[in-house]
């Protein structure tokens, strides 16, 4: 039976039968899992690691539209008849992925009602998260957008105190995610560090502390 932990579903019991063989793959950091224009013929389940989805405009401008972590699905557009991938999926760190062919995924959704219901809820919750991110782009300050992204990358939950996120994630990558410049990210990160919200280890890993949640939940007074 699935159970929730920090609002995430345990998919292992549902997918236990397809974890072996050619379905499971290991991907190193910066490896392209699929690219825009590739055939959309499968869904991916991220058992471990972090993946980013990027898009490129007609003018060559790139943007990160989503970052995914343990226990998340992506590439589900094929289930709605999408013939080609509309985004590029890139591993941000070492990843373990399960590739589920479209016919098998459709059969699971059709035959296993509980799996189907949980999968729909998973997609809805993720879309709400994406929607909140888009709203932030228009209505929140750059500091709040960065704070939200750092919390999402760290899978910060109610029971968390500190959480280490992707080692050596660059400020250029953060700038892409937030939709601002590297210099702005540097200024925001220095401010967060001085206030004790984040900390860097000797190996370059970043630790997010629970005080950063106040940047997202409360007004700008938390930053002054």
- Domain topology for 140-223: Arc Repressor Mutant, subunit A (1.10.10)
Q: Look up residue 209 and give its DSSP letter.
A: E
Would you say the CATH fold of 140-223 matches that of 4-135? Answer: no
Q: Which residues pair with 48 in a beta bridge?
A: 96
Strands 8-9 and 62-68: unpaired
CATH no. of 4-135: 2.60.120.10
Residues in the chain: 224
pTM value > 0.75: no
3 state SS of 208: strand
The pLDDT averaged over each successive group of 10 residues in the chain (224 residues) is: 52 73 83 96 94 85 86 93 94 93 92 90 84 63 84 65 64 86 90 87 78 66 46
3 state SS of 95: strand
Q: What is the residue extent of each domain of the chain?
A: 4-135, 140-223
């Amino acid at each position: 039976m699935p159970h929730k932990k920090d609002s995430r579903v345990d998919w292992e019991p549902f997918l236990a039968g397809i974890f072996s063989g050619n379905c499971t793959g290991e991907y190193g950091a910066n490896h392209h899992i699929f690219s825009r224009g590739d055939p959309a013929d499968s869904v991916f389940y991220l058992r471990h690691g972090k993946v980013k989805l990027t898009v490129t405009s007609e003018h060559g401008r790139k943007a990160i539209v989503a970052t995914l972590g343990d226990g998340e699905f992506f590439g589900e557009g094929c289930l709605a008849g999408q013939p080609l991938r509309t985004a590029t999926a890139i591993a941000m760190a070492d990843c373990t992925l399960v590739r589920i062919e479209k016919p098998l995924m459709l059969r699971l959704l059709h035959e296993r009602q509980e799996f189907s219901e949980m999968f729909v809820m998973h997609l809805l919750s993720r879309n709400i998260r994406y929607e909140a991110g888009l709203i932030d782009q228009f209505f929140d300050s750059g500091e709040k957008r960065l704070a939200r992204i750092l919390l999402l990358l760290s899978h910060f939950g109610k029971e968390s105190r500190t959480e280490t996120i992707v080692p050596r994630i660059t400020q250029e990558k953060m700038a892409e995610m937030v939709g601002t410049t590297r210099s702005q990210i540097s200024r925001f990160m220095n401010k967060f560090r001085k206030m004790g919200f984040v900390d860097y280890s000797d190996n370059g890993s970043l630790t997010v502390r629970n005080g950063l949640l106040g940047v997202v939940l409360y007004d700008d007074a938390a930053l002054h």
